[in-house]
Amino acid sequence: MTRRRFLHAAGALGALAGLRRLAPASVSPANGSQLIPDVETRVVGSNNRVELVIDRTPFGFGGRRGIATTINGSVPGPLLRFREGERAAIHVTNRLREDTSIHWHGLLVPNAMDGVPGVNFPGIHPGQTFVYEFPLRQYGTYWYHSHSGFQEQLGHYGPLIIDPIEPEPFQYDREYVVMLSDWSFENPLKILDNIKKQGSYYNFQRRTVGDFFRDVDRAGLRATIADRWEWGKMRMSPIDIADVTGSTYTYLLNGLPPASNWTGLFRPGERVRLRFINAGAGSYFDVRIPGLEMTLVQASGQHVQPVTFDEFRIEIAQTFDVIVQPTEDRAYTIFAESMDRSGHARGTLAPRAGMSAEVPKRRPRPTLGMMDMGMAMSMGGHGGMSMPGMDMSGTQAPAKPSADASMAGMDMPTPKPAAPAASGHAGHDMGSMRGMVTPDMASSGGAGVFEGTLRDGTIIRASNLRAPGTIPEPVMHAGSTHGSASAGTAMETRSRLSEPGAGLGEDGWRVLVWTDVKRLTPAATFEAPAREIELHLTGNMERYMWSINGIKYSDAPDPIPLKHGERIRLTIVNDSMMAHPMHLHGVFMELENGHGPECPYVHTINVKPAERVSLLATPVDPGPWAFHCHVLLHMDLGMFRVFQVSEPDGTMTTSEGAAV
Amino acid sequence: MDLDRVIRTFVLAEQLEVHANQPERPVDVELVSWIGGDYRRLFLRVQGEQSTRRSGGGEMQGDVLYGRFIAPYWSVVAGARVDTRLRKDVVSVDGENPSNGRRAPSARSTRGMIAVGFVGLAPGWFELEPTLLVSDKGDVSLDLQSSFDLLLTQRLIVQPWVEINAAVQAVPEIGVGSGLNDVEVGARMRYEIRRKFAPYLGVSLLRRTGVTAATTHNLGERRSVGTIMAGLRIWR
């Protein structure tokens, strides 16, 4: 079947990612059950052997045609479904004219199976078949995607589910994968070229003269001029929410544009599990289903204590499993607005095929506030900047004093005062540090634990670390501002896990925030970190440069050394004005959101502008692991590092193909 | 990966325009371009004006500058400028009788200059290109250009600009006096049919001052020149 016919059929009949396993028999036959094998490859051959073929396939909608990079001919690729405790054998054949790869996002696999060309393996060359084989050591909702070039933007991604051995602590009657993504008919290389030459190329929501006068009406002339000057001084724009927008992207839900209206069926009263996956190359989505509340049961594939809300923002590469219970015999819209409000993806939950509900209007695009710039403290003195009533108010509102947030604060064992070195960049003197660190030094452990600054500007601390599971204190940025690659270093960074994020939380309904999320079962042992590794996310929108510590990956080839089994705290500080979904391969991270042993596991965490996020991890799988921003362009331009985990005996091994 | 190391080429025809109300009906071209990566770029700027009337002359100015990205919004640049003026006719004081007029400085004059300066974005989103020039004869002058984008709508954009020329020493041959020579202010209003393709209409006012004004006045040029222009702004 051609992709076009498949799309058409799926769009009309729904159940693109519908799973028969849990669906009553009455749903499937009349709804094109012959389609389902196309998306469900749970049983391919035997012993969890799966064949995947990467190829170029015509893809289009709305009368426009393009060429997608597909997995077994579809976008998204097939749903892979395994069971925890078993072994997967996935044969990937490359029919492209360029190298390809698959990375299993969030899966704990042996290093050589992680699929990052230049880090873990040389990539899959044209015509070659690579066999990924690994044990399934976890349960949950994940996804997989290319780690080569721009293939992910071109459709090379798919959902992946691992059913747990243990019964799940929640019930549901049926389930759907809801995979959100973004598609452009423009060549991604062209998109990058355009944005490199004009940062605002795709932004058609910039502030105009009209906005100026509207702000004057609301906030007064003086305040408006002061606001414009504050931003103008920084040569930044408070509407820099997304680099690539709906002006070229069409937002897809399970591979379908809004007009195709993907539909998942339910019978009133049933509990429906929705496995949300954000496979966007550059888009965050704000998801709600008007008329239904959602209960989070898994985040990053791991069980969490149920928390109920009306809307959530799904960061790029994140997965959230929610349960909804539609009781009425009517259709409900799954509405996923892009964070910058330049477009939306949409689907429907309905008792019968062919139904649809009202599609909400998109809200106005959010405006960043000075808090997003890490200017909160310094603004205290300038009365002119409070700007009451301006559209920035939403994002400027201080963290909501929600029960969870305040609890989070109270839970904290009294944090030790931040060590002097903690205030940013004492000793960020690259020249004098050059050549100072070798992997053995950092991995030698014991008495000689390395403390200082790596050549690439990464700060390592081994003393005066605060208690595990606590929220970082606000810290004023000191010392280096990371050079010309970094524009507008945040003066003060702090935790923003209790904030929903720019443009959310002002609509009078409940919005999920990370301080609401707790692991289902508290950690049996919850060790304090032995070392803290602090990295600063940096960028310069004027030249569209992205880096870590002001240094692009291509200028920072040394891996950051980690010792096998050591307890580390990874502190990520966002010194840029855009949000970055940061992903560390090869290990689960415990997000320090104030809940101690109940801190949730994550594989990806969004870091808001001017935010300081810390995570605990205990890497055990040896080898080089990628750490990067999951905005594809940011990663490709240099917001990328490698963490090298030593062997249990302390030695470092480099896997083949590690030379970039 | 390593997409950050790609050498890119940017060519912007900032101006490609006809000066509709000038008797010479000059065509004016300004190209701004660079080639390079994130930190090191070669900047090329070409500015030229050519009369479309038989009597008219023209002038062209070209810069080749090597730039280093030294601060978040600033490149420091250094290179050379070549300034060529071409006059086909001798111009009279009153514009009526060429034989009454003084001689024009020369039919063709070319100056080579060393140029150093900055290319960047000043607080308030002002594009700023201050350039210090030292000619082959040791004359020092300063050229300052600044512009700004004002969005009426997402596609209708007004771009006011200012250009200031000043010199330390007078160079009478080409009508340059010492001190502030001239100030030109203007605005172009473009409509971005596409980001890279925008027709525009504009106005400008050139005001010559001091010695320059007197010199050029003697050459038959007015102290103040108002221009109405129409053109295209394109880039790739």
**Are the beta carbons of A147 and A115 closer than 8 angstroms?**
yes
Q: Would the CB atoms of A540 and B3 count as touching at under 8 Å?
A: no
B-chain residues near A487 (CB < 8 A): 72-73
β-bridge partners, B190: B157, B200
| pLDDT band with cut points at 50, 70 and 90 for residue A650 | confident
- From the number of C-beta atoms within 10 Å of its C-beta (0-12, 13-18, 19+), residue B97 rates as exposed
Whether A553 has its CB under 8 Å from any CB of chain B: the answer is yes
What average pLDDT does this structure show over A117-139?
Answer: 97
Under DSSP, the state recorded for A365 is P
| Minimal Cβ distance to B153: which of A208, A229, A542 | A208
Under DSSP, the state recorded for A519 is B
CA angle, A55 as apex, A263 and A86 as ends, to 5°?
70
Answer with the residue of higher pLDDT: A131 or A477.
A131
| C-alpha dist (Å) from residue A161 to A109, A230, A302, A307 | 15, 47, 12, 22
For residue B149, give how far its alpha carbon lies from the nearest alpha carbon of chain A (Å). Answer: 10
Alpha-carbon distance of A150 to A66, in angstroms, equals 15
| Neighbour tally for A566: CB within 10 Å | 19
B-chain residues near A201 (CB < 8 A): 195
What's the order of all strands across the beta sheet hosting A580-584? A560-562, A640-645, A623-629, A580-584, A604-607
For residue A211, give how far its alpha carbon lies from the nearest alpha carbon of chain B (Å). Answer: 9
Alpha-carbon distance of A371 to A610, in angstroms, equals 7
Picking from A349-358, A438-447, A516-525, A630-639, which range would have the lowest pLDDT averaged per residue?
A: A438-447
| pLDDT band with cut points at 50, 70 and 90 for residue A258 | very high
| pLDDT band with cut points at 50, 70 and 90 for residue A14 | very low
Token reading at A321: 């499993």
Q: Is the pLDDT of residue A653 over 90?
A: no
Whether A659 has its CB under 8 Å from any CB of chain B: the answer is no
Percent of chain B with pLDDT over 90: 62
| Minimal Cβ distance to B151: which of A208, A487, A637 | A208
Q: Would the CB atoms of B154 and A233 count as touching at under 8 Å?
A: no
For residue B129, give how far its alpha carbon lies from the nearest alpha carbon of chain A (Å). Answer: 16
Q: Pairing state of beta strands B58-71 and B74-86?
A: antiparallel
What is the DSSP annotation of A480-501? ---GGG--S--SEEB--TTS--
Percent of chain A with pLDDT over 70: 81
| pLDDT band with cut points at 50, 70 and 90 for residue B100 | very low
pTM: 0.87
Alpha-carbon distance of B155 to B198, in angstroms, equals 9
| pLDDT band with cut points at 50, 70 and 90 for residue B61 | very high
Token reading at B23: 């008797």
Q: Would the CB atoms of A484 and B71 count as touching at under 8 Å?
A: yes
Q: Pairing state of beta strands A80-83 and A157-163?
A: parallel
Q: What is the largest CA-CA distance in chain A?
A: 71
Q: Could you report the per-residue pLDDT of A208-223, keeping only the tens digit for each?
A: 999 999 999 999 999 9
ipTM score of complex: 0.90
| Minimal Cβ distance to B124: which of A233, A488, A636 | A233
pLDDT of residue A420: 34
Q: Would the CB atoms of B3 and A192 count as touching at under 8 Å?
A: yes
pLDDT of residue A579: 96
pLDDT of residue B52: 86
| pLDDT band with cut points at 50, 70 and 90 for residue B89 | low
Whether B148 has its CB under 8 Å from any CB of chain A: the answer is no
| C-alpha dist (Å) from residue A497 to A536, B89, B200 | 17, 73, 47
Alpha-carbon distance of A528 to B193, in angstroms, equals 58
Name the one residue in this structure whose structure tokens are 């809300």: A309
What average pLDDT does this structure show over A587-593?
Answer: 98
Give me the sign of the Cα torsion angle A492, A543, A550, A280.
positive
Q: Would the CB atoms of A484 and B10 count as touching at under 8 Å?
A: no
| pLDDT band with cut points at 50, 70 and 90 for residue B32 | very high
Answer with the residue of higher pLDDT: A50 or A3.
A50
Q: Is the pLDDT of residue B209 over 60?
A: yes
| Neighbour tally for A651: CB within 10 Å | 12
Whether A209 has its CB under 8 Å from any CB of chain B: the answer is yes
The mean pLDDT value of chain A amounts to 84
- For residue A538, the chain B residue with the least C-alpha distance is B72
Whether A192 has its CB under 8 Å from any CB of chain B: the answer is yes
Q: Please tell me whether residue A607 adopts helix, strand or coil conformation.
A: strand
- With CA atoms as reference, report the closest residue to A653 among A576, A581, A564, A580: A564
Q: Would the CB atoms of B124 and A638 count as touching at under 8 Å?
A: no
| Minimal Cβ distance to B2: which of A192, A232, A554 | A554
What is the DSSP annotation of A146-212? --STTTTTTT-EEEEEEE-SSPPSS--SEEEEEEEEEEESS-HHHHHHHHHH-TTTT------HHHH
| Minimal Cβ distance to B8: which of A193, A484, A660 | A193
Q: Would the CB atoms of A210 and B152 count as touching at under 8 Å?
A: yes
Alpha-carbon distance of A571 to A494, in angstroms, equals 11
| pLDDT band with cut points at 50, 70 and 90 for residue B55 | low
Q: Which amino acid is it at A96?
A: L
Q: Is the pLDDT of residue A128 over 70?
A: yes
Residues with Cβ < 8 Å from A190, sequence gap 6 or more? Answer: none
Alpha-carbon distance of A601 to A566, in angstroms, equals 17
Q: Could you report the per-residue pLDDT of A280-311, keeping only the tens digit for each?
A: 999 999 999 999 999 999 999 999 999 999 99
- For residue B124, the chain A residue with the least C-alpha distance is A232
Q: Could you report the per-residue pLDDT of A356-398, keeping only the tens digit for each?
A: 999 999 999 998 887 787 775 444 333 222 233 333 333 333 3
Name the one residue in this structure whose structure tokens are 């579809």: A74
Cα end-to-end distance, chain A, whole Å: 39
Picking from A464-468, B67-71, B123-127, B156-160, which range would have the lowest pLDDT averaged per residue?
A: B123-127
pLDDT of residue A176: 96
B-chain residues near A118 (CB < 8 A): 1
- With CA atoms as reference, report the closest residue to A48 among A127, A177, A161: A161
Q: Which of residues 459-518 of A touch B (CB under 8 A)?
A: 484-488
Picking from A224-233, B113-122, B218-227, which range would have the lowest pLDDT averaged per residue?
A: B218-227
Q: Pairing state of beta strands A272-278 and A174-184?
A: parallel
- For residue B11, the chain A residue with the least C-alpha distance is A197
Alpha-carbon distance of A236 to A489, in angstroms, equals 12
Answer with the residue of higher pLDDT: B95 or B108.
B108
Suggest the residue from B4, B9, B155, B197 to mutate for an interface test with chain A (most A CBs closer than 10 A): B4
pLDDT of residue B223: 84
Whether B71 has its CB under 8 Å from any CB of chain A: the answer is yes
Whether A647 has its CB under 8 Å from any CB of chain B: the answer is no
Percent of chain A with pLDDT over 90: 74
Q: Would the CB atoms of B151 and A207 count as touching at under 8 Å?
A: yes
Q: Please tell me whether residue A222 adopts helix, strand or coil conformation.
A: helix
Alpha-carbon distance of A335 to A346, in angstroms, equals 5
For residue B165, give how far its alpha carbon lies from the nearest alpha carbon of chain A (Å). Answer: 26
- For residue A233, the chain B residue with the least C-alpha distance is B123
B95 φ, ψ to 5°? 80, 5
pLDDT of residue A429: 36
Whether B97 has its CB under 8 Å from any CB of chain A: the answer is no
What's the order of all strands across the beta sheet hosting A174-184? A249-253, A174-184, A272-278, A319-324, A294-299, A302-309
Suggest the residue from A103, A153, A197 to mutate for an interface test with chain B (most B CBs closer than 10 A): A197
Whether B10 has its CB under 8 Å from any CB of chain A: the answer is yes
pLDDT of residue A428: 38
B30 φ, ψ to 5°? -135, 120
| pLDDT band with cut points at 50, 70 and 90 for residue A478 | confident
pLDDT of residue B214: 74
Answer with the residue of higher pLDDT: A12 or A605.
A605
Burial track A265-285 (b if 16+ CB lie within 10 A, e otherwise): bbbeebbbbbbbbbbbbbbbb
**Are the beta carbons of A159 and A117 closer than 8 angstroms?**
no
